[in-house]
Structure 1
Amino acid sequence: MKRIAVYTSGGDAPGMNACIRAVVRTSIFKGLEIYGISYGYDGMINGNIKKMQSHSVSNIIQRGGTILKSARSEQFMTKEGRKKAYDQLRANGIEGLVAIGGDGTFTGAKVFFEEFGIPVIGCPGTIDNDIYGTDYTIGFDTAVNTALEAIDKIRDTAAAHDRIFFVEVMGRDSGYIAVECGIGGGAEFVMVPETETDIKKVVKSLKNLRKTKSSSIIVVAEGGEEGNADQIMEKVKNKIQDEDKEFKVTTLGHIQRGGNPTARDRVLASRCGMAAVEGLIDGKSNCMAGVVSGEVLYTPFDDCINKTKPLTGDHLKLIEILSI
């Protein structure tokens, strides 16, 4: 293998640039030619492929987003689109790929490998931390710290006005961000997609907490079965029926995807990027390079896509204990 390419796909995550940097510089160190594909699978189809040098990734490790850009690709979901992508790679002499993204990115990479045999290794780039085969995903730590900083500020105004705040964080299918923010931010409740939310229990607890606390923070993952933070707030407010108590909602949204990556995300991204290149050189493919218990492991895309990474009961128990 002499020539490989790297691309980012799906939602951006802080640390993707650090991963790109590691892929580029490891490739050069190992004597490979390295190319960057802009705009993910769409760029692969349209031939947005250019050679990268060591200086191409200078001064990017601290930047959020992705210098290679990211995009959804309807074309790549078709066999014809994937054939166009394959033809572009062949025309540029690309013999292997590093895919940085989440399960959608890995699903596309898996199908592409099965159809055309181009070796692909993935790096887990998503703030949701919902990829099986790695303890943490690139961007998760930064997203948690971004949300936590906001929650700390919201708690100040909640306490000043004796308000109950519902803070919505990202996590359509995963409650990892919500749980870690809830623990780190001292939230009274955390609502996540993985567990059922008992509104009656929340109302009862809030009424009891009023004896000792004048304000409360409730962290809501966007994918809960009871709805978003606005809907849950209305349900709770209607049951408490206290005209003297103010209820507020703050939705943090895409602010969690941006910003300078933390040291933890930069190191994780760098390790995964290096491991992906080394894996391609060693003949590995159709798998993801992740870090489990401090060690780099290669997990088949099938497992990354189909196996779940459940929340630990200890996290949920800790929130309940510390909220009293």
Structure 2
Amino acid sequence: MAAPADLLDSLHVVDLPMRRRFRGLDRREAALVRGPEGWAEFSPFPEYDDAESARWLAAAIEFGWSAPPTPRRDVIPVNATVPAVPADDVAAVLALYPGCRTAKVKVAEPGGTADDDVDRVRAVRATLGPEGRIRLDANGRWSVDEAERAVHRLAEFDLEYLEQPCESVEELVELNRRIRYLDVPVALDEAVRKADDPAAAARAGAGGVVILKAAPLGGIRPALAVAAATGLPAVVSSALDTSVGLAMGAALAAALPELPYDCGLGTGSLLAADVATDPLVPVDGVVRVGRVEPDPALLERWAAPPERAAWWRDRITRCAALL
């Protein structure tokens, strides 16, 4: 495993502007490190504690210091991600994802209303047309009753699945019981990646799809183990990564035995700048599999202020001590 000195010697912290406010952020910070196998990214969100963030560091070390599993495919079909924007902005957001025929739509945003969600999803359906696929992501913000009401209102738009509609496993199990007749699967995200036992929610019958994010799960191989343990069809997603981090997600998606759903690895389109001259963004609805080499000029152009770089250095040191 890499020593803290190995990580810090190659460290570049970047501060990237975003095209759209997403997850409450207008800018995205990330720490990039270089190992013997190539560049890797450490970018847990600032509010995450060291224990949770240490898994992200383990993932960066795995990707930078060891070769990924043998890929089974060289391109990954991806979905568009629609933040909680007004309905009138939906078409402009979807235009950032050329060729993508699946859209993940954020709902249950703080400060928004159920009517806002309906209007947004309706606009997505109108833009994608009848053949497009729509999945919703509530980030666990609905109660069971709220989720049930929302599904009934939104089912007319032909939903592919609901991602983490409620927070707890017990709530998800109850929601599944109530909406089973609608044939809208529940996809497990936070219930997997924030759990001590990532497969527990699947065993309890809380969902029918598993969301895999390489960084929060500790790396590509731990994520593959989670997929195998749940026995559920998997969707690989990202955490608003730079192209370096998205390359790790693409390597995970490439290694899965089966990939029945489009993956959430197109979020580079939400960034107004990136660290690579050829960023990993959707082209004809797919992203390529392969490592990304940052451009030194872009690393310098988007370098975070010294105080933020120091903050990330301290964070890496603390998290490394937990591994």
- TM-score w.r.t. the length of structure 2 is 0.29
Give the structure with the higher percent helix: 1
Q: Compare CA radii of gyration and give the structure with the larger one.
A: 1
- TM-score w.r.t. the length of structure 1 is 0.29
